[in-house]
A and B are shown apart, each in its own frame.
Chain A
Amino acid sequence: MQLSFCRRVYVSLAKGLGLKKLFYYLFVNNKIIDILSSRVLSMVVPPIVGLYYGTLDIWGDDWDIVTKYKSQHEFTFTILAGMTLLILFVKGVSETFKDIVSDRYEALLESLIVFFNSLVKRKRDRYFQKASNLRPNADAFKIFTQPSDQLEFVLDGTKRFLVDGLGLTSKQVGVTIIEGKEDEQRWWYAFKCDSQKQHTRARDLMTGDSAAKYALEQGDSVFIPDIRKGVKEGVFFPSQRSKKGKIGSVFCKPVRVNVNNEDYVYIFTIAVYGQFLCTPYDESVCKACERILDEIADRVELELYLHSMTQYKENKGKAA
């Protein structure tokens, strides 16, 4: 109760004064704070001060070592008492901030777990429903997998995670999968998170200098935390939306599946405009953010394997 009150006071104060960043550096991300708030110091210093005070109070008039050096003892005690106060204060603020980070982390972890669990639940529910009516000669692969349905669900879940977990604005988030025939230079959107939303034409992206094209050429994912850097380096295709938003981030992961010598090519993209996925100039944060996005992309990749196999089966079935 008391801690929660302190936290509320701290958050209001930090927000109100716009000092959150300053507080963070003063009380958390600081080597001196690490030393001051260490357990050893907080375990050792207060008892020493207590014992010292007790000694001075009880035997101060009897012991020569105290009476003869009174001014020195006053100075030492003042220093020790000051240190105790400082340690307790710093530790209190630091712990409060750590609690806030812990809460944020829990919220982020929860939204990711909810997202991943929902993917499993979706499949489990489908398997359960379909299994009860399965006929002996039915196409079990087609009935159970349904990758299109699962992919749409993954894209929606990705967006939900970005909004709920990372606190992004929903309207400026785009999650898509481009599919294409490389040799024919035909590209189209196989899946879009918001089907009504207008996106830059897939063909323009894949023939221009875009992150999607670059990722496909590289054969692995590309994360551009600041799209301005992408434009500067010639690996981001500026769209109307990105120009309007001015800033943004993009993540692209290419997926190439070969089914019986037939290539299926996809590019999974997460694009946000007018906001960043993470602090673009902080390397450790960018790496962490990229890892989370890559984990999500792994789920998409898995479904795309099934999707390509389903497509192959359907196309060959028609041809036969």
Chain B
Amino acid sequence: MRQILMSKPGEFDYTGKRQPVTNLAVKMLAKVITSKESGDEVVIVSQKLKSDKETEQQ
């Protein structure tokens, strides 16, 4: 399954500019070009990756 490793809100400092116009355009484009149903990808926002790895190694 495709993974997205996201940061939690407030986890890092974001001083750069947010681009609402581009963000909306990207969302619209993604909707148009892909027929993939939502849920194909999984979003990870915690220390899950490390614990996954450790579990696998054990």
Interface on A for B, CB 8 Å cutoff? 20-21, 24, 28-29, 100-101, 104-105, 107-109, 112, 166-167, 214, 218, 220-226, 228-230, 233-235, 247, 275-276, 278-292, 294-295
Contact = CB atoms under 8 A, between A and B. Distances in A.
8 contacts: A214-B49, A223-B5, A226-B7, A229-B7, A233-B49, A284-B27, A287-B41, A292-B34
Contacts of A282: 23
Given A109-B29, A284-B27, 15 more contacts: A101-B24, A112-B33, A220-B1, A225-B5, A226-B12, A228-B12, A229-B11, A247-B16, A278-B23, A281-B7, A281-B9, A281-B11, A287-B38, A288-B30, A295-B33
A225 B5 CA distance: 7
Contacts of A29: 20
B40 to A, nearest CB: 8
A109 B32 contact: yes
Main secondary structure on A side of the interface with B: helix
A290 B49 contact: no
Interface residues of B, number: 39
Interface of B: 1-9, 11-12, 14, 16-34, 36, 38, 41, 43, 47, 49-50, 53
B2 A221 contact: yes
Candidate in B14, B24, B32 with the most chain A CB atoms within 10 angstroms: B24
A223 B4 contact: yes
B9 to A, nearest CB: 5
B21 A229 contact: no
A218 B48 CA distance: 13
